[in-house]
Amino acid sequence: SENLARKVVIITGAASGIGEQLAYEYARRGALLSLVDIRKDNLGAVANKARSLGSPNAIIIGADVSKVQDCKQFVDETLNHFGRLDHLVNNAGICRSEAVENVDDVSLVTPIMDVNFWGAVYGTLFAIPHLKSSKGKVVVVASAGGWFPVPLFSIYNASKAAAINFFETLRIELGWAIGITIVNPGGIEMPLSDALIKQSGEEAFIPLETAAECAKAIVESVCRGDMYVTEPSWVKVLYFWKLLFP
């Protein structure tokens, strides 16, 4: 399993949820961190806690991953600061649900595709040369929903399916040079899924694991070089779902 001491790791969406917990997991293993988020308010506190947990250094970068220039900037800043890049964790994401008939471009399709799909693609494209020279790894936090349809989540799930397909293709083209791990969480207890439960008025997403447990599983899998991390209990739901809707 990979030793992360002084490895340089970029985590996008590090201000809350899974991304914040990923920062702590990498910190406990001694990694140098570049923490990226569109919301800078909580990032400083996350960086301080990461240092207290064992990260020799953690920098924070305010960036909108849906903007190609911002992605170039967070990769460049990380390289300028640390001189190398070992892992890029594409975790930033947004979730909105809507019935297919009410889907519109401005409030749903464009923002979700721009953050969840293009955000993961842009950062990865800028990181590839550096990851090739460090024999590094790229991670995408997609979703179990990227594998199967869920009512009201057509666009969110499509954005995750697109991301999964991109990273599968990357593995075929560059898997000999770069490690690629695709993460498919189910429903997790945190702001995003809490909001979904409230929004739907019912337990559309059942909290199955905490963000901390999810982050631990991700870092362990990435260090082992696993291709996928999928929440086991969610896979059972998936099989049940496929029985209902064959």
Instruction: Determine if 238 is a binding residue for ligand NAD (CB under 6 A).
Output: no
CB of 243 to ligand NAD, least distance (A): 22
Q: Which of 187, 218, 219, 229 binds ligand NAD (CB under 6 A)?
A: 187
Residue choice 94, 150, 212, 237 for contact with ligand NAD (CB under 6 A): 94
Q: Establish how many alpha carbons lie within 13 A of residue 87's alpha carbon, considering only the half-sphere containing its beta carbon.
A: 31
Does position 209 bind ligand NAD by CB under 6 A?
no
What sign results for the dihedral spanned by CA atoms 93, 99, 100, 101? Answer: negative
In order, the DSSP letters of 47-111 are HHHHHHHT-S-EEEEE--TTSHHHHHHHHHHHHHHHS---EEEE---------GGG--IIIIIHH
Q: Which uninterrupted H or E stretch holds 179? A: strand 179-184
Smallest gap, in angstroms, from Cβ of residue 67 to ligand NAD?
8
Q: Kindly identify the residues of this chain, within the stretch 49-78, that bind ligand NAD according to CB under 6 A.
A: 64-66
Instruction: For the CB of residue 150, give the shortest distance to ligand NAD in the complex, in Å.
Output: 11
Active site annotation includes 228:
no
Is the CB of 25 or the CB of 37 nearer to ligand NAD?
37
3-state secondary structure of 181: strand
| Among candidate residues 211, 210, 193, the one with its CA nearest the CA of residue 153 | 193
192 binds ligand NAD (CB under 6 A): yes
Q: Is 164 in the site for ligand NAD (CB under 6 A)?
A: no
Quote the CA–CA distance of 240 and 186 in Å, as a whole number. Answer: 14
Residue that the structure tokens 């979703």 belong to: 143
Catalytic residue from among 24, 26, 122, 156:
156
Chain residues in the site for ligand NAD (CB under 6 A): 12-13, 15-19, 37-39, 64-66, 91-95, 115, 119, 141, 143, 185, 187-188, 190-193, 211
Catalytic residue numbers? 156
